[in-house]
Amino acid sequence: MKLHRIRIEQFRKFNQAIEIAGLEDGLNVLHGPNEAGKSTIASALRTLFLEKHNTGGGEFTSLLSPVGAGNAAPTVEAEFSLLGQECQASKTFLVRPRARLTIGTESWEGGDADKQLASRLGFGLSGAGASRAATRGIPGLLWIEQGSASALEEPVTHAEASLAERLKSIMGDIASTSGGRLAVALRAELGKLRTATGRSTGILDAAEKALAASAERRDALLATSREYQTLTDRLSRDLAEQGRLTAERHWESLERERRAAESQLAELQPQQRDLDASRQRLRELNARITSLHTQAEDRTRELALLAAQRTTLKQLREQQNHETQAMQRADENRSTARAALGAARQQHEAAQACQQRLSLQAEIQRCGDDIVAVDGTLAKAQAFQAALVGLREQSGAVRLSTADLARFEQLDRELRETRIQREAIATRVVFRLGEGQRIDLGTSGVLEGTGSLLITDPLTLHLPGLGEIEIAPGGEDIARLAEQSSRLEDALTTLGASLGVSGLAEAQARCSRHQELEREIELKDVECSALLGGSEVSAWQARLADLRGRQQDQQQVLARLPELQVELSLDDARHAREEAEVALTACEEQFELNRRSIVEAGLECEGLQGRIKAATDRLEGEAADSAAQSAARELLEAVARRDGLQEKIGAAEAKLAALRPEDLEADVQRLQLAIDLVNKQRSTLHEAITAARAKLETLGADGLDEKLAGAEIEVENLGKRLAHYRLRADALGLLCSRLGARQEEAIQRLYAPLRVKLDHYLRQLFPANQVTVDIDKLRPSSIARDNAALGFEQHSHGTREQLGVIARFAYADLLKEAGQPTLIVLDDALVHSDEARRQQMKRILHDASLRHQILLFTCHPEHWRDAGARVLIDVAGLYDAAA
């Protein structure tokens, strides 16, 4: 596939129509700065060939429509050759969408045109919406989008089916061989028994499930049989135990023993009740004795406390008298400190006024100095502004942009190249005339002597006495070059007139002078900005006004301050005032401390007097003495009663201990537990025997033995059937495995053409290394240099970009050998290559361009001028021309 021309209109960046013509075989470089429209051209190419003409949707519309064009109809047209036939394709999207494709003498429109392009170029059409990576097939592999050169796995996966279909002639068709048909048949048969993951399915799965169900039924019947035997044995043991208990009747003797022990225990209960009553009375007497002892101890302690309180009251009153005298002295000191503080404050205020006057005078002086400095800066800035105005006038008079100069140089270069080509193919006339002989050329002059003449236009030679000879240079090229030369001369003259220059040298001189003036203006701007500190002149003028206003305000404040005869030290005055304040604070704190101590001592004396009076009334009266004597007598009587009661309790306890009532109580409890255990055992045996008889009757009535025998036979038959199916599945699996291994060996041999192409390019990329490549499913899986292998994704990003481009060249070589169309688009595909690798890739790019048409989009044309390009197209120039 060879692209000759592409026209784009109302498509993203190109609102106006642009046209790229003259695309050649081999390498075509389309260059321009960022946002010049390179990726837009690549996107338009993909949209024309890969998108359906009636694709819609908000996202698709936003991707195609120019900014601000609400009702645009993006249109893309292309002229190309496909397998030796000339073709034209055009599509209009969004508004009145339409498509037309012409190949040779055949043509298609609408959806038919979309389908024809898809079938001939090897990609698919999406069901709804824009095309996806999965549908782009071979163009999605060979047309590298910006930033995606390093991604190879996904494009190859999406193009794998189309590649395999189109490379049959050189890589073979595995699916069409008898081995492939056999493998498909075997896998189909195996699929009836097992899935690809080894899980049983179909009749094998049904046989496994039937065997499992039958075995489960057999196991259930076997478990039931075992349960029947167990129940029979247990019933025999339970009946024997029940007969033994009934014969012995052991519970009757235990009941007699329990009643005898209870009778003996009942005879001891009156003695026990009398002993418990005596113990209760003893506890009450002990509590009363303890209470009387506590009352006597509390009275003794309270009398001692009363004596101590009286001593403390005397000490508090003496302390109160001392604090009163100290407070009087503190009050005198406080008055003296207040007078000293007043004098110190007056002195401090006078010193502050003196200090303020001095500060204002210094600030007024500083403001005056700043006003002088700002005035000087503003004067210098005005001088800079005047110089800048002059320079800008000069720059405007000689303005000529680098873009205009580049256009002028481009036209001049093209004109010189056209003249050189014209002279190269012009008719050359060599003449040698005798002395005095001449040939009249009409308006072109006269020929004399010896020389040569280049004829590019029709010319008439006038031969005196002989006639005329007309020379007309032949060939379409001379006429085309003459027309092109004339057109370029007119364009150069028109451009020179619009720019006001007579020639290239004058244009270059004007552009150089304009740039010098611009640099001088920039330097003056920098100097002026540095002088003004990055601020505007208005800011400096505002600062000057502020300084003058501040100076005036300070002069007014200074005029209102009183004149001082003696200069006072502000620090000394402040220090004296602070010392006076500290002294007054200390005196006030001392006075307050003394006053608080007097108040606290008074309150404490009042409280202590009240407590002493209450304690005296309670402890030292006649009633208190009488109550104390009565409590002492009661204590003696209680002690005597307690001693007699203790002797009585001791005798009763000795008598009762000899009879051991606790043993009788333990016997009663022990015998009752034994009786309960025997009764529980009899009841449990009865219930177990009844349940076992009922269960045995149920199990024995269903023909258990016959069912178990039938289940055993069914399990055996199903097991044989399952073994047969498993043997068949294992045999089929082994055959598929062996055949798959042989097919894999064949596939690896069939991948040899792709490996040869990749080796060809890899030896150019890594000339100093021994390189081998592994291929898996039509894609390079790993690359080994000097026997050190790395997977494709393990290489650096720049190397993956280079390997990705190389792989596309290899696929294109295979497609070309198979007679399939190829076009390679590289949109900024090698931006991460260093200088050394870029040189290697230039050789590889030139090598591939000998067999394929390559469109290389780049923002660095200087990197690719020596890559063997046949055409260099400035995308920015296309856009300027369209505008």
Helices 402-425, 476-499: axis angle to 10 degrees equals: 160
Say if CB 164 and CB 814 are below 8 A apart. Answer: no
Two tokens, residue 259: 């009643």
Rounded distance between C-alpha atoms, residue 842 and residue 765, angstroms? 10
pLDDT at 745: 62
Query: How many of the other CB atoms lie within 10 Å of CB of 43?
Result: 21
Q: Where are the beta strands (DSSP E) in 104-146?
A: 106-109, 143-144
Rounded distance between C-alpha atoms, residue 587 and residue 330, angstroms? 6
DSSP code at position 21: -
For residue 168, CA distances in Å to 172, 175, 746 come to 5, 10, 14
DSSP 562-617: PP-SS---HHHHHHHHHHHHHHHHHHHHHHHHHHHHHHHHHHHHHHHHHHHHHHHH
Two tokens, residue 80: 């190309």
Residue 309 burial by Cβ neighbours in a 10 Å radius (0-12, 13-18, 19+): middle
Say if CB 140 and CB 118 are below 8 A apart. Answer: no
pLDDT at 701: 46
Which residue in 826, 829, 827 sits closest to 837, CA to CA?
829
Two tokens, residue 764: 């150019």
DSSP 221-239: HHHHHHHHHHHHHHHHHHH
pLDDT at 3: 94
Rounded average pLDDT per 10-residue block, the chain, 883 residues: 92 88 92 88 92 85 78 91 92 92 93 92 85 88 87 83 70 48 73 79 84 83 74 77 74 74 68 74 81 79 78 78 79 80 73 68 76 76 74 73 79 78 71 78 76 72 75 65 77 78 77 77 74 71 75 72 60 76 80 78 76 73 73 79 78 67 71 78 78 70 67 82 83 78 59 76 78 66 74 82 88 86 90 87 91 92 88 81 53
Q: Residue for token digits 């890739």?
A: 841
Rounded distance between C-alpha atoms, residue 817 and residue 603, angstroms? 122
Q: Residue for token digits 């009532």?
A: 661
pLDDT at 98: 93
Q: Dihedral (C-alpha) 41, 42, 45, 51: value to the nearest 10 degrees?
A: -120
Q: Residue for token digits 């006001």?
A: 500
Two tokens, residue 570: 């502000």
Residue 786 burial by Cβ neighbours in a 10 Å radius (0-12, 13-18, 19+): exposed
Say if CB 827 and CB 144 are below 8 A apart. Answer: yes
- How long, in residues, is the chain? 883
In three-state secondary structure terms, 23 is coil
Which residue in 400, 386, 404 sits closest to 518, CA to CA?
400
Q: Which alpha helices (DSSP H) does 766-818 contain, by range? A: 797-817
Q: Dihedral (C-alpha) 782, 784, 788, 790: value to the nearest 10 degrees?
A: -20
Half-sphere exposure of 57 (CA within 13 A, CB side): 11
Beta carbons within 8 Å of 586's beta carbon, 6+ residues apart: 337
Q: Which residues pair with 827 in a beta bridge?
A: 857
Two tokens, residue 255: 């009941």
pLDDT at 75: 94
Rounded distance between C-alpha atoms, residue 84 and residue 814, angstroms? 18
Rounded distance between C-alpha atoms, residue 461 and residue 570, angstroms? 117
CATH of domain 2-167+751-882: 3.40.50.300
For residue 479, CA distances in Å to 488, 645, 814 come to 14, 158, 42
In three-state secondary structure terms, 856 is strand
pLDDT at 856: 93
Half-sphere exposure of 727 (CA within 13 A, CB side): 6
Q: Spell 316-346 as b/e; 16+ CB within 10 A means b.
A: eeeebeebeebbeebeebbeebeebbeebee
Residue 841 burial by Cβ neighbours in a 10 Å radius (0-12, 13-18, 19+): buried
Q: Which residues pair with 75 in a beta bridge?
A: 9, 92
Assign residue 638 a region: left if phi > 0, alpha if psi is -120 to 50, beta otherwise?
Answer: alpha
Which residue in 138, 167, 14 sits closest to 76, CA to CA?
14
Two tokens, residue 858: 């780049």
Q: CA angle at residue 292 from 290 to 293, to 5 degrees? A: 65
Within the chain, what is the greatest distance between any pair of CA atoms?
A: 192
Beta carbons within 8 Å of 340's beta carbon, 6+ residues apart: 580, 583, 584
Domain residue ranges in the chain: 2-167+751-882, 427-472
Strands 106-109 and 98-103, by their bridges, are antiparallel
Residue 844 burial by Cβ neighbours in a 10 Å radius (0-12, 13-18, 19+): buried
How many H-runs (helices) and E-runs (strands) does the chain carry? 22, 20
pLDDT at 744: 57
Say if CB 12 and CB 43 are below 8 A apart. Answer: yes
pLDDT at 176: 41
Rounded distance between C-alpha atoms, residue 594 and residue 330, angstroms? 8
For residue 210, CA distances in Å to 195, 730, 767 come to 19, 20, 67
Rounded distance between C-alpha atoms, residue 879 and residue 883, angstroms? 6
pLDDT at 762: 82
pLDDT at 174: 44
Say if CB 265 and CB 719 are below 8 A apart. Answer: no
In three-state secondary structure terms, 822 is coil
List the 75-82 sheet strands across, edge first.
18-20, 2-9, 75-82, 85-92, 98-103, 106-109
| pTM attached to this predicted model | 0.42
Rounded distance between C-alpha atoms, residue 98 and residue 89, angstroms? 11
pLDDT at 160: 77
Which residue in 875, 880, 877 sits closest to 38, CA to CA?
875
pLDDT at 177: 45
